[in-house]
Chain A
Amino acid sequence: MSTETQTETIDRGIVERLRASPFLSQLLSNRLAITGIVIIVGVILLAIYARITYDLSDLMATQFGTNPSEAAPSAAYPFGTDGQARDIFPRVMYGAWYAVLYGTVTVVASTFLGVSLGIVAAYYGDLTDNVIMRTMDVLLSFPSLLLALALVTIFPEELGLWRAVGALTLVYTPRFARVVRGAALKVLEDEYTDATKALGATDPRLLIRHVLPNCLAPITVQSTLNYGLAIIDIAALSFLGFGASPGEPTWGMMLSNGVEFGLFSGAWWWSFFPGLLLALTVLGFNLLGDGMRDALDPRMRETVD
């Protein structure tokens, strides 16, 4: 057999495996999920572009003299200008960077914490399990935005938007812990876990190499759905006054300023555009998360086959 045909077989193997993976093929045949992916990729590219192109201190400084104040959208200022004569367009673009950065940190941190706690609870069982999961239950007994509001107060004010990230991380952690504990318990019942243990695998190795990979699907869905939620909740905390500092070009802050100072004198564009981008981004994550959930649920799959 020549090397050429060999690589060809391997390649076909990968393609076939992808095609055979009901999850991916189902996901990629879902037009709404594809739309979600396109929106998310668009927002991430926008965030990176804005971060590279614009200087944050320029965006935050007042621009009286340079720009007209409170100008309606026009060719020169596509999204208009605000009360500090700042051009709203680049500020909204930069808001994408904030949303992606702070949203990612929140989701990654709560996933990490939740997954660790969930797996440890499932593996050690008994008292460890009880202590961890009852604590999670208590945290889940609070309405999430209200717990976040209360938790924001434990962080010093200087932390700005990171206060919101910290509070929401703690709020989301129990959801991951619950999902992962359930999935991990199922994996631990399987015979290969016993086999791995019999071969002398250590606890951390067993958990990381064998249990974790088998819980990835539910973790991914939960993370994706939580991404949209994190972005909308961070903005909500900013809107309520707990998060970004006044000049910062985050969508939540722009919305809050726009509603407070611009909207009722008719300057709708201050808050309209940041809100639009925010809603679109969250929609992207919800479309993808929804598609993933459908693709994972075998009962949903039947409708397409």
Chain B
Amino acid sequence: MVSKRFVLKRLLMLFPVLFGVATVVFAILHLSPGDPAVVIAGERASQEFVNQVRADLGLDDPLWQQYVRFLGEVATFDFGQSYQVNRGAAVSQILVDRLPITIELALLGQFAGLLFGLPLGILSAVKQDTWTDHLTRIGALSGISIPIYWSGPLLILLFAQFLGLLPTSGRIGSEYFVEPVTGLILVDTLWAGNLAAFQSAVIHLLLPVVVLGIYQMALLSRMMRSSMVEVIRQDYMRTARAKGQGSKITVMKHGLRNAFIPVITVIGIQFGSLLGGAVLTETVFEINGIGTLLVDAINRSDYPVVQGTVLVFAVLYTLVNLGVDLTYSVLDPRIEQ
């Protein structure tokens, strides 16, 4: 069982990290050569107007004042108004609307990766140094070497353009409108009881999830293999076999549980690459998550949105790793020391 002290300690450690993250984001935006006042006022605005906007934004205040104000805003989840989206929509609202889209994609990609990656890794380890093992390993290395922005468009070309089996982009057919409740399209369509819309969403998400999942599958099968190879060599596995258990039962009963522990940590560490992959996948498949939001915001110098998005990504990553640490300590209580 995890001690309360350990959980509390890990939770308290969140604060300095989040404080640091906010500081980095503040620093990045203040180091950017672009001038937010010019972005808001427009390129052709008069100098007086630009100065006025700058004063209104508080950009003339001393840096430390701006920093303190920024920290206050972050703490209250208030990232100001977008310069571009919907003429000044609140950044926090935009994030609330679009975050579920990215989370859904990432979760489905992670799930697909686990579903295929773990069995492949186990197979590879059990059949170590056979052709099955070699093929799986080469497949996994290829999987992490192929860029999403190459495999994605090629799959669209094949399945959407040439074969006409799947749609090219988006999350759902344009003929469907589903009231966003959770923001997760698969859940919302089912919630509304609209099976046709659900089917459309599944078909739309298939390729993006495959593209994102291949990368996760490749990563996880490698980790699962090396973890399993190590576990198989342990004494307790030999003991179990010596006691007369068939090797399949031994692998399942004793091997898996112990082999999973390091894999779980890896899932946490790799969550960052999953989010990076989701950004690229969203761009390729024109999905309006916070990945495409960030890319557009950078292109349009929409600083409040850049700020909010990057912060949310970092917080998400940090929280997932916290969750992983806690899970890990449940599975292996020694970690607390």
Q: Name A's B-contacting residues (CB within 8 A).
A: 32, 134-135, 137-139, 141-147, 149-154, 156, 228, 232, 235-236, 239-242, 255-256, 259, 263-264, 266, 268, 271-272, 275-276, 278-280, 282-283, 286-287, 290, 299-300, 302-303
Q: Complex Cα distance A156/B34, Å? A: 9
The B111-139 residues at the A interface (CB cut-off 8 A) are 128-129, 137-138
Q: Tell me whether B17 and A279 are in contact (CB under 8 A).
A: no
Closest Cβ neighbor of B16 among chain A residues:
A134
Interface size on B, residues (CB 8 A): 54
CA gap between A287 and B145 in the complex, in Å: 10
Q: Are B32 and A142 in contact (CB under 8 A)?
A: no
Query: Is B313 a contact of A151 with CB atoms below 8 Å?
Result: no
Closest partner residue, chain A, to B24 (CB atom): A138
Residues of B within 8 A of A239 (CB): 147, 149, 280, 283
Known: A242-B298, A263-B153. A303 touches B229 (CB 8 A): yes
Give per-residue flags for B233-250: 1 if the beta carbon is below 8 A from chain A beta carbons, else 0: 100000000000000000
The one of B29, B141, B168, B226 in contact with A264, judged by C-beta atoms closer than 8 angstroms, is B168
- B142: CB under 8 A from chain A? yes
* Contact code string B8-40 (vs A, CB < 8 Å = 1, else 0): 000000001100110111001101111000000
Interface residue? B146 (CB, 8 A) = yes
- The verdict on A137 contacting B20 (CB below 8 Å), with A154-B32, A278-B150 known, is yes
The distance from the CB of B100 to the nearest CB of chain A, in whole angstroms, is 18
- Describe B's contact surface by its main secondary structure: helix
A153 touching B32 in the complex, CB below 8 Å, given contacts A145-B279, A239-B280, A279-B150? yes
Q: What's the Cα separation between A141 and B276 when bound, in Å?
A: 13
Selected A-B contacts with CB under 8 Å, 6 pairs: A138-B20, A150-B306, A235-B149, A240-B280, A276-B150, A300-B226
B23 closest partner in A (C-beta):
A138
Q: Which B residues are within 8 Å of any A CB, using their own CB?
A: 16-17, 20-21, 23-25, 28-29, 31-34, 128-129, 137-138, 141-142, 144-147, 149-150, 153-154, 156-157, 161, 168, 226, 229-230, 233, 271-273, 275-276, 279-280, 283-284, 294-295, 298-299, 306, 310, 313-314, 317-318
| Chain A interface SS verdict (over half) | helix
Q: A141-B21, A266-B161 are in contact. Are A149 and B153 (CB under 8 A)?
A: no
B17 touches A236 (CB 8 A): no
Question: Chain B nearest CB: distance from A231 CB in Å?
Answer: 10
Residues of A within 8 A of B17 (CB): 137-138, 141
A138 in contact with B21 (CB, 8 Å): yes
Query: Do A146 and B24 touch across chains, with their CB atoms under 8 A apart?
Result: no
Q: Is A154 in contact with B317, judged by CB distance below 8 angstroms? A: no
Cβ of B313 and Cβ of A146 under 8 Å apart?
yes
A278 in contact with B147 (CB, 8 Å) = yes
